[in-house]
Amino acid sequence: MDERYLRPTYHLDFDHPAVRAFAEETAGGLATPRERAVALFYEVRDRIRYTPYEVDLSPEAMRASTVLELGRGFCIPKAVLLSASARAVGVPARLGFADVRNHLASARLLEVMGGNDVFAWHAFSEFWLDGRWVKATPAFNIELCERFGVRPLEFDGFSDALFHPFDAAGRQHMEYIRDRGSFDDLPLDEIRRCFEEMYPRWTTERPGGDLGAEAEAERAAQG
């Protein structure tokens, strides 16, 4: 295992006092790397509110310390915080990325994204546990899952915790269509170029919105 997965970086800045304190308070007293990774997954999943309508791709906004301070973010900043926090308590971690087709995005979100249901550079964390990499995406907090009517992801540290192909009602949910690889730090320039090309309105206008409320309204309209 490469030692770079235990070091702070510009984006995974667990040398920041707030990030280190967050990690220690959440998982510092737990005995094993698996227990620490699991505890941090749930804390980041539910403490940091998922929102796709406040995308800020500036370098400062995409640091773990900034995500923790804001208490909100989309999949990439949430994975940045989770990976940084894991490193802070001695769990080797990195960032993984894939393009996914999201079948349960709200109609408004798809409109803001130019009608594109492919979410490029969806992010998750990877932990080195018992000699192998285990993946977990902390994106959707439990309240948002309830409003969408989907099961929240669970993580036990043994199996990958990635979005399921189908939701709790059997509807098609998430389809992984392209692996973009794993990184020791956030490849922000590459992500920004891709987003600006694929989603110009999403990344420039930063339209406000409440994805959970949109999901509830659409579910009610469908009966």
The pair of structure tokens assigned to 25 is 């308070």
Look at residue 103 in the predicted model and tell me its pLDDT: 60
Number of C-beta neighbours around residue 120 at 10 A: 18
Look at residue 205 in the predicted model and tell me its pLDDT: 73
Distance CA 174, CA 89 (A): 31
Residues of the chain with pLDDT under 70: 1, 103-104, 164-173, 206-207, 212, 215, 218-220, 222-223
What end-to-end distance do the CA atoms of the chain give, in Å? 51
Please write the tens of the pLDDT for every residue from 178-220: 999 999 999 999 999 999 999 888 887 766 777 767 767 766 6
Look at residue 110 in the predicted model and tell me its pLDDT: 82
Look at residue 214 in the predicted model and tell me its pLDDT: 73
Q: Please give the distance of CA 192 from its chain centroid, rounded to a whole number.
A: 16
Look at residue 24 in the predicted model and tell me its pLDDT: 98
Position 76, amino acid: I
Residue 214 lies inside a defined structural domain of this protein = no
Look at residue 105 in the predicted model and tell me its pLDDT: 74
Name the residue range of residue 133's domain. Answer: 3-150+158-207
Q: What are phi and psi of 16, to 5 degrees?
A: -70, 135
H helical segments located in 105-149? 107-112, 142-148
Residue 32 lies inside a defined structural domain of this protein = yes
Three-state secondary structure call for residue 136: strand
Look at residue 131 in the predicted model and tell me its pLDDT: 96
Angle at 162 between CA 73 and CA 145, to 5 degrees: 55
Look at residue 148 in the predicted model and tell me its pLDDT: 75
**Which CATH number belongs to the domain containing residue 60 in this structure?**
3.10.620.30
Look at residue 39 in the predicted model and tell me its pLDDT: 98
Look at residue 113 in the predicted model and tell me its pLDDT: 83
pTM (2 decimals)? Answer: 0.92
Alpha carbons within 13 A on the beta-carbon side of 214: 15
Q: Where are the strands (E) in the chain, listed by range?
A: 49-50, 72-73, 93-102, 118-129, 132-136, 174-183
- 34 touches 180 (CB < 8 A): no
Look at residue 172 in the predicted model and tell me its pLDDT: 57
Residue 78 lies inside a defined structural domain of this protein = yes
Residues 6+ apart with CB under 8 A from 41: 82, 125, 136, 138, 155, 161
Give the total number of structural domains in the chain.
1
Q: What's the length of the chain?
A: 223
Residue 115 lies inside a defined structural domain of this protein = yes
Look at residue 49 in the predicted model and tell me its pLDDT: 93
